[in-house]
């Protein structure tokens, strides 16, 4: 049986995103957090160096750290995605921050984000907006 070009692996997608969600942003709120799991099926550790979102002006990579009893949030330069592993971005830890939202984000909305890796690869992410406090 001749199957022709049956190999559908047109893309060499090694780093992929899953379970992506964005915290809802009511009218008047121009900043929100985004959370997801990034998987790396490759043998080389990759790092996320930047990203952009369709709904906002800028995207920053952040982490939450406990600083003497207080949770403090600060930008980080990059987020490593270990070889043959994954990194989880979640509330209270590493996360993405969207700034300059152009309109309110309502639960159920879809947000498209593109992450850029250290080797120039772009990782498309489709995230769903979830209720505030719905973790």
Task: Candidates 24, 62, 81, 123: give the one binding Cu ion (CB under 5 A).
Answer: 62
Would you call 93 helix, strand, or coil by DSSP?
coil
Residue 23 in the binding site for Cu ion (CB under 5 A): no
How is the chain split among helix, strand and coil, in percent rounded to 5? 0, 55, 45
Verify binding: residue 30, Cu ion, rule CB under 5 A. no
Residue 69 and residue 129 in contact, taking contact as beta carbons nearer than 8 Å: no
Q: Which is nearer to Cu ion, 14 or 125 (CB)?
A: 125
Q: Least CB distance from residue 90 to Cu ion, whole Å?
A: 12
CB of 128 closer than 8 Å to CB of 67:
no
Q: Footprint of Cu ion on residues 74-103 (CB under 5 A)?
A: 97
| Residue 46 binds Cu ion, judged by CB under 5 A | no
Q: Does 31 bind Cu ion (CB under 5 A)?
A: no
Q: Is 134 helix (H, G, I), strand (E, B) or coil?
A: coil
Closest CA to 89 of 59, 118, 110: 59
Name the minimum Å distance from CB 135 to Cu ion: 15
Residues that bind Cu ion (CB under 5 A): 62, 73, 97
């Amino acid at each position: 049986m001749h199957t022709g070009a049956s190999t559908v692996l047109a893309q060499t997608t090694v780093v992929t995103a899953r379970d992506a969600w964005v915290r809802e942003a009511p009218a008047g709120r121009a900043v929100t957090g985004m959370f997801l799991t990034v998987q790396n099926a490759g043998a080389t550790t990759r790092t996320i160096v930047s990203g952009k979102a369709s709904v906002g002006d800028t995207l920053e990579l952040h982490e939450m750290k406990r600083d003497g009893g207080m949770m403090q949030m600060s930008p980080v330069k990059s987020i490593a995605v270990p070889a043959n592993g994954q990194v989880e971005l979640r509330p209270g830890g590493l996360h993405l921050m969207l700034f300059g939202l152009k309109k309110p984000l309502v639960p159920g909305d879809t947000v498209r984000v593109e992450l850029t890796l250290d080797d120039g690869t772009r990782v498309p992410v489709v995230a769903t907006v979830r209720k505030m406090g719905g973790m």
